[in-house]
Amino acid sequence: MKTTSSLLLTLIMILTPCAAMSQSSTFYCTRHNDFSQLRNNSTAIVNGEYLQDGNETSKCLINLDTTTIDSYSSFKYYIKFANFHNREGKTYKVKDAKGNTSNISSTHCGLVFYYNGFDYWRVSAHCTNSNLYNESVDVRSMTVELIHHHNGKDTIVESTTLEHGVDLHDGYNYMGVAVEENAIKVLIGKDELKEIMSHEMSEQEQIACHGIAQTQVGYFVGPGAMISLERAVLAVSSQEVESSGHPITTQWTREALDSHFEASRNPFEGYWVYLDRDMEDTWLKLGGRYTIALVETSTGYDVIYVDGAQVRKSQWQLGMKKGEMTKTIFTDNFTGSWIDATFQPIEEDVYATFESGVILTFKFPVYKSQIRFSKVLNQTNE
């Protein structure tokens, strides 16, 4: 999730707007060994760039994010995780509260959402073999279940079985859930998130979810499982954010930009216009076909908004900062930050590159998306 530009604000957000709410935007995200938002329990440890958590008990272990979400808000949550105890033919020992030991051969793990202390939902994944000891007919598959835990009982609401597109052993997969207007979408994949099921909540399920004002998300580790978490991202719909007084205001005017670029000898400084995009619309939406200006700084470039906003068009004014690009050790490659269409700062996992001096590409590898801008060669007549 990282990097730069302003235009990228063009990627209006990681959330689709909810009909009854204002536009949504990234609320917070954590990455690699920055898991400060996750309430680490006694079994969870940070190992290099990963958070690892094992469960040697016969009960499901839940680790919640400390961020609270209004129960009526639309949100998206995804994790990138591996279950190291997901190997063919292996069993894993667990103990119950009385100290009795048993073996588990198919371990479960996944994410938790709408958690309010006693009621919650979870997306669970576990792998099995159809005939482990006969390779000629054996098929290994992953079962993904959408489960509602209510009144102390689990109900499997939706279920599907996958044989392709996911790692069926102890490698990493993406898993996500998108909730909007009481519809739950489940996404999973080895290399990218793909929707595999959708569920419209019943009136009873809605009452259970909205019965408490604040809910939480997190992950769970089933009996015998050993989870390794590389990334956890949460995007929550937000109320309208006024741009007045926001620190994105700069002193740049159109006249000042024209004058600066006329005297500049830096080939990358100048105006850039929207060219095209390649987006995974499940997670990223276009906030506008922006025209931006790049102004050189001591560390790279400021990205200045010029025109083209479609979301909050009346609030975006020429001269506002859309982002920053920071130099790396690699020529024409940058990291940075940007402000999305709803004026929320995004500061992780985005990359910007120049191609042949006339194409500027912002890449979002986590979301399998990118957007490109082309250089305006006649700067004052853009």
pLDDT (tens digit per residue) in 258-284: 999 999 999 999 999 999 988 766 666
Over residues 5-34, the pLDDT tens digits come to 333 322 333 333 322 233 334 444 444 445
**The residue type at 227:** I
Percent of the chain surpassing pLDDT 90: 54
- Per-residue burial over 50-71, b = 16 or more CB atoms within 10 Å of its CB, e = otherwise: bbbbbbbebebbbbbbebebbb
pLDDT band at residue 117 using 50, 70 and 90 as cut-offs? confident
More confident position, 340 or 223: 223
Which domains are present in the chain? 24-237 (2.60.120.200), 254-381 (2.40.128.520)
At 44-64, the pLDDT tens digits run 888 878 899 999 999 999 999
For the chain, how far is it from start to end, CA to CA, in angstroms?
Answer: 31
| 241 pLDDT above the threshold of 70 | no
Q: What letter represents residue 349's amino acid?
A: D
Residues in contact with 363: Cβ distance below 8 Å, sequence separation at least 6, in sequence order: 3, 350, 351, 352, 353, 369, 370
**Above 90 in pLDDT, residue 201?**
yes
Asked whether residue 382 carries a pLDDT value surpassing 60, the answer given is no
Average pLDDT over residues 169-190: 94
b/e string for 133-162 if b means 16 or more Cβ within 10 A?
Answer: eeeeeeeeebbbbbbbbbeeeeeebbeeeb
Q: Any residues with CB less than 8 A from the CB of 207 and at least 6 apart, and which? A: none
Picking from 52, 176, 26, 57, the residue whose alpha carbon sits closest to that of residue 112 is: 176
173/190 Cα distance (integer angstroms): 4
Q: Are 86 and 127 in contact (CB under 8 A)?
A: yes
